[in-house]
């Protein structure tokens, strides 16, 4: 049975965060995903570059036969804008986080979490708070359980979660942040081990902290890249492998059929269709 990489899983894998002013350098992490029963999974790396200018994350994952490469930027002079860099298509996409933050504040109780303190430990020379986080899932009782080691000396979880959450995950991230703050554990996770409701195990661990000055170009869109409106095809630009190639082909075929259908619509039908799509985009669907 083919396992699917869910948006939630990808969101967990591409998590980064702006830093407190005193830290500048590169965090190197290793990532691992283990599916229940050994029916899939993957491994990868993530490098997070941080300076006063902003934050840049580079994720390189191998999920079975599919490769996933993602680059995200967040500049401190435009903190509500996330930028995804697509090197394969030489494009970039901007995401306005202000709406997601407003919706998250309004729905902070959409999910509930309990945080249990397990003690303080030192990782890579940094003092961390070790906690166990349990997600309360009223739908099926199978919420995720995580063990997390957070360090306040490096990064702030409030900004960390901004990069971690997709539009549909913002409310749950706000609830998680609220629970971590209550336990005094709202720093950067230097290590986390999460078991999801279906038994998937996701491990993230910082393996090195390299304090150094970084050039301003690290946090800028490369010259010659063009702005993209985004969309599923844009998201898949960083994926490779047989499964990704087949998915891209199917999506491209569907797009061609949609364009043909639009040509045959009356002006009234086209206006109604465009209005419906705008409503879906504004609602984050």
Query: Looking at the whole model, is its pTM more than 0.75?
Result: no
Cα separation values, 220 from 16, 83, 215, Å: 16, 10, 10
Listed residue (89, 58, 87, 54) closest to 72, CA to CA = 58
- The set of long-range contacts for 135-141, using a CB threshold of 8 Å and a minimum separation of 24, is 135/111, 136/111, 136/112, 137/111, 137/197, 140/197
153 by Cβ neighbours in 10 Å (0-12 / 13-18 / 19+) ranks as middle
Axis-axis angle for helices 157-164, 170-182 (nearest 10):
160
CA 117, 177, 196, 35 dihedral sign is negative
- Per residue of the chain (285 residues), what is the pLDDT tens digit? 444 444 444 444 444 344 344 678 999 999 999 988 766 788 999 998 988 898 898 988 888 777 888 888 988 888 888 898 988 889 998 888 776 555 545 454 457 889 999 999 999 999 999 999 998 865 556 788 999 999 988 777 765 555 544 444 555 677 888 888 888 888 889 999 999 888 889 999 999 999 999 999 999 999 999 998 765 556 555 565 666 566 656 656 666 676 677 677 777 766 776 666 655 544 444
DSSP 108-135: TTSSEEEEEEEEEEEETTEEEEEEEEEE
CA 31 to mean position of chain CA atoms: 13
Phi, then psi, of 213 in degrees rounded to 5: -80, 145
Residue with tokens 């050039």: 215
Residues in the chain: 285
């Amino acid at each position: 049975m083919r396992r699917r990489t869910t948006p939630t899983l990808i969101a967990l894998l591409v998590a980064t965060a702006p830093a407190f002013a005193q830290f500048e350098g590169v965090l190197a992490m290793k990532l691992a995903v283990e599916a229940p029963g050994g029916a899939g999974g993957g491994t990868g790396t993530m490098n997070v570059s941080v300076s006063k200018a902003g934050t840049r994350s580079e994720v390189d994952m191998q999920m079975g036969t599919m490769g996933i490469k993602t680059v995200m930027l967040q500049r401190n002079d435009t903190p509500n804008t996330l930028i995804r860099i697509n090197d394969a298509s030489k494009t970039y996409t901007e995401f306005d986080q202000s709406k997601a933050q407003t919706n998250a504040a309004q729905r902070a109780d959409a999910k509930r979490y309990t945080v249990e303190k397990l003690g303080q430990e030192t990782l890579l020379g940094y003092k961390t708070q070790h906690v166990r986080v349990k997600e309360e899932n009223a739908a099926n009782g199978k919420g995720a359980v995580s063990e997390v080691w957070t360090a306040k000396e490096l990064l702030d979880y409030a900004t960390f979660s901004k990069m971690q959450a997709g539009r549909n995950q913002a409310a749950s991230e706000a609830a998680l942040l609220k629970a971590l703050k209550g336990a005094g554990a709202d720093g950067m996770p230097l290590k986390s081990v999460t078991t999801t409701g279906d038994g998937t195990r996701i491990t993230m661990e910082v393996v090195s902290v390299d304090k150094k000055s970084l050039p301003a170009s690290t946090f800028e869109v490369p010259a010659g890249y063009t702005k993209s409106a985004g969309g599923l095809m844009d998201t898949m630009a960083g994926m490779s492998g047989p499964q990704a190639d087949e998915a891209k082909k199917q999506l491209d075929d569907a797009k061609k059929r949609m364009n043909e259908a639009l040509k045959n619509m009356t002006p009234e039908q086209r206006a109604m269709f465009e209005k419906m799509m705008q409503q879906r985009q504004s609602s984050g669907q």
